[in-house]
Structure 1
Amino acid sequence: MNEHIFNFIQKQTCATICCVDEQGKPYCFNCFFAFSSDLGLLYFKSSAGSYHSALLKKNPFIAGTILPDKLRTLLVQGIQFEGEVLNEHHPLMGQASAHYHKKHPMALAMSGDIWTIQVNHIKMTDSTKGFGKKIAWNRTEQSSLADA
């Protein structure tokens, strides 16, 4: 994964994730997350009874965004990503709880399920590197691409 993308994601704490309901309507939710750049996995915790948990069990394909915890209006930075929620029996789920709670230890006191998103595509906009600068990463290519 591109080091610039990884460093940006590691510094942030909150993501917006969008899933789709049975009628094809989008539904977004915000969550605290942890990220594994080695595996390209994003972890979040959510109540088992939440509406988005039910939607993700039916349709695991998601899109999302990560913005800086502190926005700077003149220097636009952010991540757009696409991925798929892994089912609870997937082999990559083994370290999900440990990885998430390492970044968010206070979350141990709260009930909920840890979810894992296999991130398949990332597009980062980073105006600190030049106006409208884009950096992309694709799981299938396992490398970063510089976009104009």
Structure 2
Amino acid sequence: MKDSLFRIHSFIQEHHVMSLATFYEDEISSCSLFYVYDESSQSFVVASSMETTHILHINNNPKIAGNILLETKEIGNIQGVQFKGIFLELRDEKFKKEYFKRFPYAKALSPKLWKIEVNSFKMTDNRLGFAKKIIWP
């Protein structure tokens, strides 16, 4: 289990953009977000304005799903992580500092920062064998 989580965390740390899906009533939305990932809390930090469709959804339904992928045409190198979690307002100053350290230009926009607490991961890693899945928990 520890090795599985290490593989997932390592992949996430190599990237910086996620796709996020939200749902409220009968409307589905997806978007792309820059992120910073904190392994110790298994949480992403993202920025988004209050007027976006995904934030309007989240204000009514904080459950989200998302993915991060390696874009490749080589079947043997396909990798990606899918996740589910809860989208919350970020309150931790440490995470805010980390986000602006990685994306300093974002500070000029004065964005609202959010936290995604992950409760499950599924990673596909074809380098380990065709369609090999790593599931956590």
Task: Tell me if the contact between 2:84 and 2:118 (Cα under 8 Å) persists in the aligned partners.
Answer: yes
- Aligned counterparts of 1:100 and 1:71: Cα–Cα separation in 2: 27
Task: Tell me if the contact between 1:47 and 1:111 (Cα under 8 Å) persists in the aligned partners.
Answer: no
- Aligned counterparts of 2:36 and 2:90: Cα–Cα separation in 1: 17
TM-score (norm 1): 0.82
Give 5+ residue unaligned stretches, structure 2: none
Q: Which has the higher helix share?
A: 2
Name the stretch that deviates more: 59-68 or 48-57: 48-57
Give the partner amino acid of 2:88.
L
Task: Tell me if the contact between 2:45 and 2:90 (Cα under 8 Å) persists in the aligned partners.
Answer: no
| 1:73 aligned residue | 74
SS at match of 1:95: helix
| Post-superposition offset of 1:104 | 1.5
| 2:133 aligned residue | 134
CA RMSD of aligned residues (A): 1.6
- Aligned counterparts of 2:12 and 2:82: Cα–Cα separation in 1: 11
Q: In the alignment, is residue 3 of structure 1 matched against residue 6 of structure 2?
A: yes
- Aligned counterparts of 1:32 and 1:71: Cα–Cα separation in 2: 20
SS at match of 2:37: strand
Give the partner amino acid of 2:44.
L
Runs (4+) of structure 1 moved beyond 4 Å? none
State the aligned residue count. 133
Q: In the alignment, is residue 35 of structure 1 matched against residue 37 of structure 2?
A: yes
- Aligned counterparts of 2:99 and 2:59: Cα–Cα separation in 1: 20
Give 5+ residue unaligned stretches, structure 1: 139-148
| 2:17 aligned residue | 14
- Aligned counterparts of 2:90 and 2:35: Cα–Cα separation in 1: 17
- Aligned counterparts of 2:84 and 2:66: Cα–Cα separation in 1: 6
- Aligned counterparts of 1:44 and 1:88: Cα–Cα separation in 2: 9
Q: In the alignment, is residue 49 of structure 1 matched against residue 48 of structure 2?
A: no
Task: Tell me if the contact between 1:96 and 1:114 (Cα under 8 Å) persists in the aligned partners.
Answer: no
- Aligned counterparts of 1:130 and 1:58: Cα–Cα separation in 2: 40
TM-score (norm 2): 0.88
| Post-superposition offset of 1:22 | 2.5
| 1:95-131 deviation line (CA, Å, top 9, x unaligned) | 3311212222221122211110000000000001111
- Aligned counterparts of 2:55 and 2:68: Cα–Cα separation in 1: 20
Give the partner amino acid of 2:115.
T
